[in-house]
Each structure stands twice: as structure tokens, then as C-alpha cells.
Structure 1
Amino acid sequence: MNDRPYHIKAVLFYWEGTVIRQDQRSIETLKAAIGCPMQKTVLEFILSIPDVPDKNDTLAKLNAQEKIAALSPEPHPSAMEILEYLLAKDLRIGIISHSELNTIQRSLQAFETIGEKDFDFIFSRDDIAYQRPTTELIGLAAERLKVTIENMVVTSANPSEIENARKQGALTIFLNERLQSEPQTVKADFVIGDIRDIIDTVRMGIPLPTGKLPNHFLREFLNQFVFEDPSVLINPGVGEDIAAVDIESEDVLVLKSDPITFATDSIGQYAVLINANDIATSGAIPRWFLATLFFPCGTTPSQIKSAFEELKQYCRHWGITLCGGHTEITEAVVRPIVAGMMAGTVSRNDLIDKRRMEKGDRVLFTKGVAIEGTAIIAREFGDRLAQMGISKNKIAHCRQFLDQISIITEAKIAAENPGTSAMHDVTEGGLATALAELSSAGGHKIKVNMNQIPVYPETRKICDLLDIDPLGLIGSGSLLICCRDADSEELMQRIDAAGVEITCIGEVSDKGQEIQACKGKKPVPWPSFEVDEITKLY
């Protein structure tokens, strides 16, 4: 089943078996009369006949058999309702049929409000029999509908037609009215047992109007969440404008707000983890999340549903409760934006304050530089990287860097170490900015050996090709930890045992605010960036 966002501009029906009902016995009789194998569609069989006289003879038999079988094909009882809905939404509609045009016209007479003029094109077997192979029909249909194949959904009751449409890149709906009584083996984006479910599938791919997310969609998307946190007194829902949380038993409430503005792919994942990361650096447990989602005009419900599903997935994984927010389609943005607010709790004695940094503390760094930036570039600019010579496998590997952007695991371990004096996660502006911020918040200079800073080869390669500095590239997924020298080895061992790479890159120096960088024993300037390096790509 499809779990990706989609945008539908046209619907293509394989006529028989969807809009027009087919009797299985009649189909078998018809196929037997013309010598068509049962596993093939009539259209596939006709197109596969290479000899023109043989094809003419088969078509003559088919015409005769159709006249014997039925004078008037029977429309599906819900077909008119579906077609009226599609027309009301200004969607383009096309037909592919193995029947003659006059047979299709005769079947349309059964519809009170729908006629031949309401379809953007009709491919009958008169049009197709001597034309193109079935593998080209989908592309030809998209041309006639004046849409890209990706914006067209193909509906059929035949597995081979669905398989062909998927291979061509179209979205597919497989209608199987025996869905409840037989196992499902057909690979389709959507499998339905009732033709009326086409409406539910299509409506998720139609752009929404500007303004708040309609309540019926909000209710549907929130229903996928499970709200089990007893401390949340008022859960999110239609008509609920606030969240209420009981914090009577907690010592300290830690709050954080951060928008996600660079990424469009996996934006829900970013929103949860980027905000949870900051909460974790204080030694607190991330617990409650509020999300304000802004989508540009033209956004479909399926795109918004995808973001909600990511929020659900990552909140559930880390034990966080979504307790409020707002969703809107607006002209104010050109790409999706999620502004998140996270709250967590920690005992007063366990709260980590960066002002506890002391001279001699070791500065530790987890994973590698620019993890998040590497993932974003691979996801947003994969085509550009491919043109520059990066292999598809490498790009796919870099896309998976997104799985590493949480620092909650190592932050929790560091919070349990009595020697941990400060934590700061790397975000916008990269490691260069994060170290400067840590120095400022902790009131101490920091010495850094640039030769010790880990940069993954994939990150280095991408940054070299795009002429950007990895030290200034957004880097969620990496955590800076200041730890007393005597406790640092044990901390590094515990974090390493948890499967997280960790490196000592420097030490805390005298009071002040400065990064004192060196390469070996040679002093070098520490870079600074007014804006994140990733902005060069937009």
C-alpha cells in the first residue's frame, strides 16, 4: 500500500471491471471464443497478434461474441456517483477499453448525468488494436490527459493492467470485490474492495484550499495517535485550542521551540528529533510536543497525512506525547514548515547547566560533522549529486544519515555521568557555530584540535563537489559534551558501547568566549558562518 504523499490531476479507468461490471462467466466464454488465454486481458491478446489478417479475424469473432453476450453492458451502481465527484473536482478523466466505441457509448446511456463529452479521451479497441503495445498505453494516456504519469492514477480490476501501470510510474488502484474472501497478492498503491473507496483515495491527492486544515481531515489524522500519558489532561482534538499538562510531581520543566525550514522530506521526523535533542542536552526527558504546521498552496491531504504519520512514529518511539498544535495551508510559505515546541522534565539536582564548565574539561564530539546536512542534500538535491558523478548507491546511503539525527541516546548516558558539565547539540551553522555557542553559554574558551574532528568521507565528497564547508553545515545528530577529565574515559566507553561513535576534539580553557583552534601544534583560525552553508543550495 502507498504511504507516500501524492498529487492527483487525472484518473484513468480501465473501463471493464471498474465502471462497467463484468460477469466472470461471460468473460471466460468470450476469451474461449477468440482463443485468448485466461491469464491475459482481451486487449493484451489482441495487441499481441502480429499478423494483420489473424488480428482482423479475431476482432470479427470478438464483435460477434459481444453482440451475443449482451446488448447493453451493466454500469456499476456507484459509478455515476464517482464520476460526478471527479468532475466536480475538475479532474481529467480517461477511459481504456477492450470494447468497441459504440459499445462504450451504449453503456454511457445508462448514466443520467454523464456522457461521452465528460471524458477527456476514450481509447476503445478501435483506437488501440492496430496502434501501440500495452506498455505504451499509460504514457499515451498521460499525454492525452495533459498530465505527467506521476500525477495520474490508474484504476483497474485486472492485475496485469495494474502491474503495467506501476512499471510506467503511475499511481494505481486495484479493485478486487472479493478482497474479503481471498488473499491479496497484487502489488498496487491502493487495493480496494468497494469501488466507492476510489473517492477516499482521490480526495487525499487533491490540493486543499488555503486556511486551516478542514476538521474532518484533522480528526482523521489525529485518530492514528494513541494518547496514553496520564499527565496530559486535555489531548489534541477538533475544537481543543489548548493543551493541559499536570506537572505537580516534577521539579523542573524544560522548554524548547525550533522550526524546521530547510527540509521538505521527512519533516515530521526532523521536527520531533531536533526539538527533543535540545531538551535532552539539559539532562531532561522529552515528554510533550506541540507542532504548528504550515503548508504551501497546492498541498494535498496525503502530504499532510504523511507529516502526521511521521510525528506519530517518532513521538511514539521516544515516548513523547503530541499534545497540541495547529495546521494550515497558507500563501505565506513556499515549502512546508513545522514549528515545534517540546517540553521535558528533570529533577533540579540533575539539570545540566552549561555554566558548570571548568578549565580542563574534555570536549567530546559524537558521530561526525554535518550528519543532517549530508542527509538533506542527498534527499533534496540527489539529482544534482548524480550529475556530479555520485553513484545512486552513495546517494541512497547518504539519505539514510537521517536515521542518525537523534542525540537522545548519548545525551541520556552523558546525563547519568557525574562528570558531565555541559552538553550542546550541533544544529544550524554546523560544528563551527555550535562550539562558539557552547563557549559563549559556558563562559569559557575552548581549545580544538581540528585534526581530531571526524568528517565522514561521504560528507567530505559532497561538500567538496558543492563548494561548501562541512564545519558550517547543519549538523543535528552530533552532540558536544564537556566532561571532567577524570570521568571522560568511562563516559566515552559507555557511549561507544551503546553503538555511538565518540571522539575527544579538545578541552575547556580559561574563562572567556573564544575558540582556539589548531592543527597539530600550529594555531589556525576557527571559521565562522553568518548563515548555514546549506543556504547556498537554495
Structure 2
Amino acid sequence: MADLGKVDREFFEEYIYPNLGAERADVALGPQHGVDFGVIDLGAMARQTESDGVSDLGAAGRAESDGADTDRQALVLASDPVFVMPSLGFERAAWFAFHILMSDVAVSGLAPTHLAVDLNLPPEITDEEFATVWETFDAEARDLGVSVVTGHTARYAGCTYPMVGGATAMAVGDLDDVVRPDGARPGDRLLITKGPAIETTGLLSIQFEELLDLPEATVEAAQKRFYDMSPVEDALVAARAGEVSAMHDATEGGVHGALVEMARAAGVRLDVDRDAIPVQPGVREACEFFDVDPWSAISEGTLLATVAPEDAADVLAALSDAGIPAADVGEVAEGEGVYVDGDRVEHPEEDPFWGTFEEYMGRLDA
């Protein structure tokens, strides 16, 4: 296990994957390293419920009485930490925390519908600060049509920012509309929105503004990346615009990590043209200042999508109409691995963001 950040594939496959509880026929997509979400087949669940002799008042009976076609319904779920950085200001921090939670579900192509939240808060958070966090969650949830269905909220000794709990986001929709993370097919085009190091640039440039030795205009450009740190709209726009076979957001490990995870999940090769990938203003300069490789650094907000070649132009046009920068950067081929400008790229062993964040926090405190 890495000292900081997510566990690597080897750790996952040795300790986590063999120990996943009971096997159930209704799990259409279970845990895999680098895969954003899981899927429950509600039709299979209803049939199992019926065969187990549950009365008409159970799940199957309620679905039938509501007129729902459970045979083709799916429940998509994804769990993540609740990540709140008070130094961003509680409203801005809560916006980001909410969109992190929505992003892994959104890349299924289904719009998020429900949220369960566990908040394990540090003792120093005030009622007013909590109110700002929760009211921001409420406003963003209403905007996306998401309902909070359950949760837990408390202050506990030993809990500290930024990880202040966890949450599970959900989406309910047609099973046939789910964009599987392992669905990339040879011949598909590879599209990328926004480019590398979006989260790294947005967070570090705001958190450590007083330490940045960069021109004012560059700092402003880097800080504008903050509100790029959500791939939710990217994913939903893309899924509506054409035949999207797979989507993945570039979180820990950045663009390189996401490319490797997408190729590995589908058992395909990705050939990528680095110069075709968009790079947003302020990213290169901020990453150079912090001595961070932008291609392996966390980039929440960046979406990778594989698309049927005949639909790639339509998807790019829809993203452009939504004000989301995107480009066709390569293709899916037979084989395995990721090749950028012909050179093989491996998954980063550790995301450089976490070490840099820890280092500069120490400089602030010095």
C-alpha cells in the first residue's frame, strides 16, 4: 500500500478482491481496481426476491404496483470520502466535496439520483460552518435532482480535515443506458475533456497562493481551474450526444493513470497523441512551480471517453456547446497497454499531489 493515496492494483488484488462477501446474481458490475462504480441489476434482484418468497409488499411487489419495468432497471453506486478543505472557504469546499461524490456515478452515463452521507466532523467545526457545508450540498443536490436519503452526522475527537466522512452516490436508470467502464472497443475514438492536472492546479494555487512566485495573471488563471473540477456535466453531456462505450474520470494518478485503468478494464490498447490533449491556462506554470508532473497528478474534472467513431464529432460538438473544452486525442486498438506518442506509459506508482500538498502545508506552518 502506498504511504499516501489510493491502494495500488497489487494491494487491491491481494487483500480486497478476494474478500467481497457473498456472491449475488444481481451484481452486474462489482469492485475492480481503477473502476469508478458498481451496478446492481434491479430486475435480477426482483426475481431473486420473488423466488425467496417475499410478499407483494416487498421490493418486487412495490415495483410492480408502481408500474416500473424492473427487468431493465439498474442501480449504480459509488462511494468516496467527503473531502472538505476549510482553507478554500466552506462554501467552495462543499461545492467541490459534493461534485467529487457525484462524479463516479455520473461517468456511468446515468444522472445521479440519490445520496447517502456519513459526516464524521472534527470537534472544531462550528454550527455556522456546518450550515454552510450542508446548505451548499442541498443547493447542488437540488440543481442535479439528487435526493439525500439517509446519513449520519456527528462531531468526533480524532477526526480532522480534509477527510471528514464518506458517502455513497446512486443513480437509477435503464440498464441498457449504463456506460460500462470496461466497454472501450477497438476502433473507438478517445476523447478527453479539459486536460491534465485540473484538480492539482486548482487546489494548490488556491491553498498556497501566498507562496506562489508567479505573475498575477498566471495565478488567476490557475485558480480558475477550481470550478473545472467536476466531470459531472462532461459525462452527462457526452452520454446524451452519441454512442459512448466507456468513461472514466482522471482522479488519482491523473491522465496517465486514468488511461492505463481504462485500457486495462477493457483489455484494449490506447494510442494517444499528447499534443492533441488540451491544457488549460495556468496548468503548466503551476505544475512547474510545484515540481509536479501534470500527467500523473490528480485531475478531478477531466473526463476520458471512448466513442463510436461516427459519433465522435457529435459528442465534441455537444461538449463545445456546453462550454467544455475537449478533443479527440487517439484511438482504441487491439492489444493492451497505453502508448503516448508511440511510447508505452505505465500507471504512476504514486500521485505526486499528496506529497506536494503535505510539503507545502509544512512551509505554510513554518
Matches of 1:373 and 1:405, distance apart in 2: 9
Match of 1:254 in 2: 76
After superposition, give the CA deviation of every residue in 1:395-447 in whole Å (9 maximum; x if it has no partner): 34433322222223232232234521111111122111111111111221111
For 1:504, the aligned partner's letter is D
Which of 291, 301, 321 is residue 497 of structure 1 equivalent to? 321
The structure-2 alpha-carbon separation of the partners of 1:291 and 1:450, relative to structure 1 and needing over 3 Å to count, comes to: same
Residue deviations 1:36-84, cap 9 Å, x none? xxxxxxxxxxxxxxxxxxxxxxxxxxxxxxxxxxxxxxxxxxxxxxxxx
Correspondence for 1:534: 353
- The SS at the match of 1:327 is strand
TM-score (norm 1): 0.50
- Cα-to-partner distance string for 1:150-204 (whole Å, 9 max, x where unaligned): xxxxxxxxxxxxxxxxxxxxxxxxxxxxxxxxxxxxxxxxxxxxxxxxxxxxxxx
Residue 116 of structure 2: SS of its match in structure 1?
A: strand
User: Would the aligned equivalents of 2:253 and 2:297 in 1 still touch at CA under 8 Å?
Assistant: yes
Residue in structure 2 matched with residue 389 of structure 1 by the alignment? 214
What is the letter of the counterpart of residue 280 of structure 2? Y
Report the equivalent of 1:339: 166
Quick one: distance in 2 between partners of 1:262 and 1:508? 37
Counterpart contact for 2:184–2:268, Cα < 8 Å: yes
Describe the SS at the equivalent of 1:286: coil
For this pair of structures, how many residues does the alignment match? Answer: 286
CA gap 1:259/1:461 in 2 versus in 1, 3 angstroms? same
Q: Is the 8 A contact 1:277 1:407 kept in 2?
A: yes
> 2:268 is matched with which residue?
444
CA–CA distance in 2 between the matches of 1:299 and 1:356?
43
Which one-letter code corresponds to 1:399 in the other structure?
Q
The change in CA–CA distance for 1:413 and 1:440 in structure 2 (over 3 A counts) is same
1:471 paired with 2:295, answer yes
1:355–1:442 CA contact under 8 A, matched in 2 = yes
Q: CA deviation at 1:309?
A: 1.9
Read off the aligned partner of 1:516 and give its amino acid letter: Y
- Residue 8 (structure 2) aligns with: none
Matched, 1:298 2:117: no
The change in CA–CA distance for 1:313 and 1:293 in structure 2 (over 3 A counts) is same
1:254-295 CA-partner distances (Å, limit 9, x unpaired):
111111447443332223212222212112110111122222
Aligned match of 1:130 = none
Out of 349, 355, 373, the position equivalent to 2:200 is 373
- Look up the match of 1:271: 97
Aligned partners of 1:305, 1:394: CA distance in 2, in Å? 33
Unpaired stretches in structure 2, ≥5 consecutive residues: 1-58, 359-366
In structure 2, do the counterparts of structure 1 residues 376 and 451 end up closer, same or farther at CA, with 3 Å as the change threshold?
same
Taking the aligned partners of 1:276 and 1:261, their CA distance within structure 2 comes to: 13
Correspondent of 2:338 among 489, 492, 515: 515
Counterpart AA for 1:450: R
Give the distance between the partners of 1:338 and 1:526, measured in 2 at CA.
Answer: 34
Structure-1 residue corresponding to 2:232: 408
Cα-to-partner distance string for 1:192-219 (whole Å, 9 max, x where unaligned) = xxxxxxxxxxxxxxxxxxxxxxxxxxxx
The one of 314, 318, 342 aligned to 2:144: 318
Whether contact under 8 Å (2:190, 2:329) holds in the other structure is yes
Q: Which residue of 2 aligns with 1:354?
A: 181
Inter-partner Cα distance in structure 2 for 1:454 and 1:527: 21
Partner AA of 1:258 in structure 2: D
Give the aligned residue type for 2:293: D
CA contact (8 A) 1:284 1:346 kept: yes
User: Could you tell me which residue of structure 2 aligns to residue 241 of structure 1?
Assistant: none
User: What corresponds to 1:483 in structure 2?
Assistant: 307
Deviation per CA, 1:118-165: give whole Å up to 9, x if none.
Answer: xxxxxxxxxxxxxxxxxxxxxxxxxxxxxxxxxxxxxxxxxxxxxxxx
Q: Is the 8 A contact 1:263 1:376 kept in 2?
A: no
Aligned CA distance change for structure 1 residues 508 and 262 (closer, same or farther; 3 Å): farther
Looking at structure 2, the residues matched to 292 and 262 of structure 1 have their Cα atoms a distance apart, in angstroms, of: 13
- The 8 Å contact of residues 439 and 515 in structure 1, kept in 2 or not, is answered as yes
Identical residues among aligned pairs (%): 27
C-alpha contact 1:354 1:438 (8 A) present in aligned 2: yes
Report the 3-state secondary structure (helix = DSSP H, G, I; strand = E; otherwise coil) of the residue aligned with 2:112: strand
Gaps of 5+ in 1: 1-243
Does the Cα contact within 8 Å between 1:365 and 1:502 map onto a contact in 2? yes
Q: Contact between 1:260 and 1:270, CA under 8 Å: does it hold in 2?
A: no
Measure the CA separation in 2 of the matches of 1:260 and 1:467.
Answer: 27
Q: Which has the higher contact order (CA 8 A, sep 6+)?
A: 2
Larger gyration radius, structure 1 or structure 2: 1
1:430 matched to 2:254? The reply is: yes
389 and 498 in structure 1: CA distance in 2 versus 1, 3 angstrom threshold: closer
